[in-house]
């Protein structure tokens, strides 16, 4: 990493810390998903407490706590974790996103403070995630019945999604913490299944795959949140790039590093000159939908990948690509004003959604993670 990269990251890190101090004083007990007119909403109500993004603001607070040592961030993050604990009583609403909910909250709390409640709830979440594993098809089931009917069958018992690769670190945590390899075995089998059924020859990936839950045979893939069948949803590419790499970091198995590199090489080849990432690499030119979250997530993956590879040219390639996107976000899509709650703009949940180019909390989280990592932070939610 050149000194120029460090200077950039350190400068942006200070802007983020200054902004987030004011934001956290306003947000207090909220669990935000988006912002309206510069103010965060709150998903901690009874109806939305199990929403899949509800761990990311807690993750931001723990990153801030680690970097500043300010106890206010730890106290507010613990309140979020306490609120999320009610989700365990609502078992029917829990799905494959257990890692997104409990790694940035309770597991982070345990790792940084030794909080025994964080350990207990993290292991409980890992057991629930492991319970979704189908050994016939070697996959962790995505969602529950009734979700995504427009894309396929009424029952999605055979569905799995590329996003789940990012939830596997919860299982690796459980194995490492308990010295019980069962959780790791499930994670490895799902990751291997993803290489077989999600990763395409050119390095792009499917979003949703259906597997026969009785026989384990591949049935079909769906366009999911991308433009359409066979397209290249960029946030899915980002989950794959980072997710495969995390399996490599937890297991040391070279096949996951090679899978991450394959996705990364494809992703880097598709980055527009502007550095701003579309919702789908194969979408029409108009409307020109963007997804800043895909840029932030893939930057995190590329930074970690640059550390994992030994070839100096690959290190430079991946790091340069991450910096190109991060600088584009910082210059064109970031609001550092402490009076505005959200950090990133121009985020999109999916191509065919009714709304585009709005703030989404995991965009803010992954942008912060990428910048703090570049600036030298030694703490990771996922490792």
pLDDT tens string 286-317: 999 999 999 999 999 999 999 999 999 999 99
pLDDT band at residue 9 under the 50/70/90 scheme: very high
Containing structural domain, residue 295? 3-374
pLDDT for position 361: 98
pLDDT for position 378: 95
Residues 6 or more apart whose Cβ sits within 8 Å of residue 333:
276, 290, 292, 344, 345, 346
pLDDT value at 3 more than 70? no
pLDDT for position 90: 86
pLDDT band at residue 76 under the 50/70/90 scheme: very high
- Classify residue 381: in a domain, yes or no: no
pLDDT value at 24 more than 60? yes
Average pLDDT over residues 379-383: 97
pLDDT band at residue 2 under the 50/70/90 scheme: low
Say whether 163 is catalytic: yes
User: For residues 109 and 59, what is the distance between their CA atoms, to the nearest angstrom?
Assistant: 9
- Classify residue 202: in a domain, yes or no: yes
Report the run of H or E that residue 251 belongs to, with start and end.
helix 234-251
pLDDT value at 196 more than 80? yes
Say whether 97 is catalytic: yes
Average pLDDT over residues 70-79: 98
Percent over 90 (pLDDT), the chain: 94
User: For residues 242 and 238, what is the distance between their CA atoms, to the nearest angstrom?
Assistant: 6
pLDDT for position 71: 97
CATH of the domain at 17: 1.50.10.10
Beta carbons of 370 and 299 less than 8 angstroms apart: yes
Q: Count of domains in the chain?
A: 1
pLDDT band at residue 60 under the 50/70/90 scheme: very high
Residue-wise burial string across 188-197, b where 16 or more C-beta atoms lie within 10 A, e elsewhere: bbbbbbbbeb
- Classify residue 77: in a domain, yes or no: yes
pLDDT for position 155: 79
Looking at 98-102, 128-132, 142-146, 362-366, which range is the least confident one? 142-146
pLDDT for position 92: 82
Average pLDDT over residues 239-246: 98
- Classify residue 380: in a domain, yes or no: no
pLDDT band at residue 29 under the 50/70/90 scheme: confident
Distances (CA, A) of 48 to 32, 118, 247: 11, 21, 30
- Classify residue 138: in a domain, yes or no: yes
Q: Check residues 187 and 147 and name the one with the higher pLDDT.
A: 187
Phi, then psi, of 340 in degrees rounded to 5: -110, 130
- Classify residue 364: in a domain, yes or no: yes
pLDDT for position 347: 98
Among the options 42, 45, 70, 97, which is catalytic?
97
Q: Which of 367, 347, 241, 252 is nearest to 302 (CA)?
A: 241
pLDDT value at 32 more than 60? yes
Q: Which of 127, 245, 238 is nearest to 175 (CA)?
A: 127
User: For residues 95 and 109, what is the distance between their CA atoms, to the nearest angstrom?
Assistant: 22
Note the pLDDT tens digit of each residue in 247-291: 999 999 999 999 999 999 999 999 999 999 999 999 999 999 999
pLDDT for position 44: 96
Distances (CA, A) of 140 to 119, 128, 341: 22, 11, 35
Among the options 95, 106, 163, 364, which is catalytic?
163
- Sign for the pseudo-dihedral over CA of 381, 246, 160, 227: positive
Average pLDDT over residues 209-238: 97
Average pLDDT over residues 86-112: 95
User: For residues 136 and 211, what is the distance between their CA atoms, to the nearest angstrom?
Assistant: 9
Note the pLDDT tens digit of each residue in 11-22: 999 999 999 999
pLDDT value at 180 more than 80? yes
pLDDT value at 147 more than 70? no
CA dihedral 288, 290, 43, 301 (to 10 degrees): 160
Q: Give the chain's length.
A: 383
- Classify residue 383: in a domain, yes or no: no
pLDDT for position 154: 57
User: For residues 356 and 247, what is the distance between their CA atoms, to the nearest angstrom?
Assistant: 31
Cβ-based burial of 258 (10 A; exposed 0-12, middle 13-18, buried ≥19): middle
pLDDT for position 146: 62
pLDDT value at 129 more than 70? yes
- Classify residue 382: in a domain, yes or no: no
Phi, then psi, of 47 in degrees rounded to 5: -75, -35
Average pLDDT over residues 341-365: 98
């Amino acid at each position: 990493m050149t000194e120029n990269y460090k200077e950039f990251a350190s400068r942006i890190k200070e802007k983020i810390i200054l902004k987030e101090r004011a934001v956290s004083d306003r947000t207090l007990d909220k669990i935000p998903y988006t912002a309206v007119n510069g103010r965060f909403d709150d998903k901690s109500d009874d109806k939305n407490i199990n929403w899949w993004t509800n761990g990311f603001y807690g993750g931001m607070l723990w990153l801030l706590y680690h970097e500043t040592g300010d106890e206010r961030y730890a106290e507010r993050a613990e309140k979020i974790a306490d609120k999320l604990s009610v989700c365990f009583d609502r078992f029917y609403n829990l799905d494959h996103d257990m890692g997104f909910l409990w790694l940035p909250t309770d597991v982070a709390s345990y790792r940084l403070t030794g909080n025994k409640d964080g350990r207990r709830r993290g292991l409980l979440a890992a057991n629930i995630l492991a319970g979704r594993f189908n050994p016939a098809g070697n996959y962790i089931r995505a969602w529950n019945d009734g979700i995504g009917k427009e894309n396929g069958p009424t029952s999605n018992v055979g569905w799995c999604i590329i996003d789940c690769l990012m939830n596997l670190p919860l299982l690796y945590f459980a194995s490492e913490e308990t010295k019980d390899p069962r959780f790791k075995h499930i994670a490895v089998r799902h990751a291997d299944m993803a290489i077989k059924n999600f990763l395409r020859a050119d390095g792009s990936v499917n979003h949703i795959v259906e597997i026969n839950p009785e026989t384990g045979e591949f049935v079909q893939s769906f366009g999911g949140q991308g433009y359409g069948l066979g397209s290249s949803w960029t946030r899915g590419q980002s989950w794959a790039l980072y997710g495969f790499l995390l399996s490599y970091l937890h297991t040391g198995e070279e096949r996951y590093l090679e899978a991450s590199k394959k996705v990364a090489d494809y992703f880097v080849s598709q980055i527009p000159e502007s550095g701003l990432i579309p919702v789908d690499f194969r979408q029409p030119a108009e409307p020109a939908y963007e997804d800043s979250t895909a840029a932030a997530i893939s930057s995190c993956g590329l930074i970690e990948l640059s550390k994992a590879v030994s070839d100096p040219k690959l290190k430079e390639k991946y790091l340069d690509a991450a910096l190109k996107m991060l600088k584009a976000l910082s210059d064109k899509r970031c609001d550092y004003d402490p009076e505005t709650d959200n950090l990133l703009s121009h985020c999109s949940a999916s191509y065919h959604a009714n709304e585009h180019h709005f703030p989404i909390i995991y965009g803010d989280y992954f942008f912060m993670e990428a910048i703090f990592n570049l600036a030298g932070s030694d703490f990771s939610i996922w490792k």
